Structures are given as structure tokens and as C-alpha cells.
Amino acid sequence: MSGVMKRMGMIFRAKANKALDRAEDPRETLDYSYQKQLELLQKVRRGVADVATSRKRLELQLNQLQQQSSKLEDQGRKALALGREDLAREALSRRAALQQQVTDLETQHTTLQGEEEKLTLAAQRLQAKVDAFRTKKETIKATYTAAQAQTRIGEAFSGISEEMGDVGLAIQRAEDKTAQLQARAGAIDELLASGALDDPSGMQKDDLQAELDRLSGGTDVELELQRMKAELAGGSPQQAIEGGTGQGQTQQQPQDTPRFDKQ
Amino acid sequence: MIVRIMGEGQVELDDVHLTELNRLDDELLAEMESGDGDGFRRTLNALLDAVRRLGTPLPDEALEPSELILPSPDATLEEVRELLSDDGLIPS
């Protein structure tokens, strides 16, 4: 499925994953990483210490061997002075064996010294890197905390869940409904005004009744006017009234006037 | 499979109906991409009707993640296009 349904679903899932990512705090990961680096540095330092200890032990052994070598040399010299050449030879041959050991130990000592220097340098470099990492870590943590606060504010405004999307739509629908009701109320008013709908309150009049009222009102005025004219002329008001009845009485008025003139 | 119609709620559908729904869904996407507003409205209504007809509504208190999500019946082509844009539903 690759249509709208799937794509909308994927977007929502991606949003949910983002929310889950937030649960895994990167600050903790940074601290853990820093801890690991410190452990590594500790190991290197321990290595440096071990090599230095071995070097010291070698130095002690070398000293002892050299002391024994000197002692055998003295013994050989004394034996010769006493005329014991056989003893002197024995002493010198033992000394030669010791000398060989001294040479071997000196080679080992040189090797260990070189190793120790290398390890010390590595430890110093690692220490510098760990220090730099610690600074960077603290900066990242501070930035993250700030970003997190910003995100929380953003989320509070926009909402993140699918349900929030529904709430947005529900609000929209409520607004639409209100607008629709308002429009309907307006339309009903118009229909009542035009007489197409009956008004149960009796406040509104249809146009037919309004016209009848207008006509009857107008007739009363005309009748009163003719009655007054007849009184002034001294004639029977009844006559004038009869003459003024019927349709188009306003047009008949000019015909009445010449009749009065003849009298 | 659980499908959400935005603004209406969730519906549980049997997978056997997916073929029919897929056809309408792909048609809807094509109409949205081509900008065919009338076609989009017609197909969206047909798709929503099919989901309502073939599915069983989930009670409101059910808390199940939706595998598929459909726009609300009154959503316009532009609104759906916006929802599916790179920024997603909420701009990041």
C-alpha cells in the first residue's frame, strides 16, 4: 500500500518515534562515554606504572649483580696476592657469567625504558583528549537541555499526537457548525419577513395583509376628506360619500369638483 | 488492521478487504497529485464509505495504534497535500 492511508500512517509513526527518541536521554550516553574514556585512561596509567615498576626491579637486580661482580673481582685479586691462582681463576670465571647477565638486564632495561616513555606520552595525549571530551560533553548537554526546553514549548503550542490532530479538526468543525447555524438563522429571518414562513409569535405580517391594511387605512382618510368637503358645501354628506366610493376614487375627485361649481 | 478516520475514530478491518481499499487509496493519491479536486472528493468519500461499511468501529475508550490513517471527510485536497508534505503534520 503506497497511497494516502499508508503515507499518513507513516508520518504519524515517524512522529511517535521522534517522541520515543526523546525518552533516550543523550546526556546519559555522553556521560557513559566519558566514564568509559576515563577507565581507558586509567588502564594506560596502570600500564605505565607496571612498566616503571619492572624497570625499577631491573635496576635493583643490576645493582646487585654489579656489586657481586665487584666482590668477585676483589676476591680474585686477593687470591692472586696469596698465590692461589686456581681460586683467582674461579672468581674471574664467575664474574664473567655475572657480566653476561648484567648485559642482558641492561638490554631489557633499555627496552622497558623506551616502552615506559611511549606509554607516558600516550597517557598524556589521552588525558588531553578526555579533558577535551569532557568540555564538549558539558557543552552538548547544556545545548541539549536548552533544545529540550524549546521543544517542550513548541510541542505545547502545536501538539504532537494524532489525537491532537483530531482535536484541531473538531474545533474547525465546531466553528463551521456555528457559522452554518448563524447563516441559517439569517435565512429564517428573511423567510419570515417575506411571508414564506408563518411567524408563530404574530409579530410579522405577510405582504397581502399589509397591502389590505394600507388600502383600508387610505379609504378612511378619503372618506373623511369628502365628508368634510360636503359639509363645507352645505350638501348631504351621504351623497358625497356615495359618490366617492369604489375603485380609483382619487381619479374621480376632479370629476366631482365641476359638479360643485354648477350649483 | 486498525484504520483511523481523522475526526471520527478508529475502525477495525479484516485484511481481506485491503485489495479493494488499496485500489481506492491509490486512486485518491493519483487524484491528489494531479490536483483533481472533484475526483479527490468523490474517491475520498467512496474510500471512507468502504472503510465504514467493511469495518467495525472501535469503542472510544480503546487505546490501539492505527496502522493506517485517513483524512477527515471534509478535508480538502490542499489540506491533505499539506499533511503529506515533507514537514509532516506538525512543522518541525
Chain B: residue whose CA lies nearest to A14: B88
Task: Give the mean pLDDT of B49-78.
Answer: 83
- How far is A259 from B7, CA to CA, in rounded Å? 84
CB of B57 within 8 Å of a chain A CB? The answer is no
Per-residue pLDDT tens over the stretch A49-96: 888 888 888 999 999 999 999 999 999 999 999 999 999 999 999 999
Closest CB from B7, B70, B75 relative to A170: B7
Tell me how far apart the alpha carbons of residues A10 and A30 are, in angstroms, rounded to a whole number.
30
What residue type is A251 in one-letter code?
Q
Contact by Cβ (8 Å): B10, B69 = no
Q: Is B55 a residue whose pLDDT tops 70?
A: yes
Q: Does B18 touch chain A (CB under 8 A)?
A: yes
Pick from B69, B75, B80: CB nearest A162: B69
Please tell me which of the candidates B28, B75, B89 has its beta carbon nearest to residue A3: B28
Nearest residue in A to B75, CA atom: A169
Does pTM top 0.80 for this prediction?
no
Residues A98 and A68: beta-carbon distance below 8 Å: yes
Question: Which comes out higher in pLDDT, residue B55 or A145?
Answer: B55
Q: In A, which residues are within 8 Å of B4 by CB distance?
A: 162
Give the Cα separation of B37 and B33 in Å (integer).
Answer: 10
Q: B84 at the A interface (CB within 8 A)?
A: yes
* Helices within A159-206 (DSSP H only): 162-194
pLDDT digits (tens, 9 = 90+) for A150-199: 666 555 554 445 445 555 555 565 666 666 666 666 665 555 565 555 55
Inspect the interface and report whether the beta carbons of B70 and A8 lie closer than 8 Å. yes
Convert the pLDDT of each residue in A191-248 to its tens digit. Answer: 556 555 555 455 455 566 666 666 666 566 677 778 888 888 875 544 444 444 444 4
Is the pLDDT at A259 greater than 70? The verdict is no
Mutate which: B61, B69, B77, vs A, most A CBs within 10 A: B69
CA A221 to chain centre: 80
- Give the pLDDT band (50/70/90) at residue B49: very high
- In one-letter notation, the amino acid at residue A229 is K
Residue ranges per domain, chain A?
Answer: 9-181
Q: Is the ipTM of this complex over 0.85?
A: no
**Of the candidates B25, B28, B69, which has its C-beta nearest A12's C-beta?**
B69
Residue pointed to by grid coordinates 461499511: B53
Q: How, if at all, do strands B56-57 and B68-70 pair? A: unpaired
| Coil, strand or helix at B70 | strand
Which fold, A9-181?
Answer: Helix Hairpins (1.10.287)
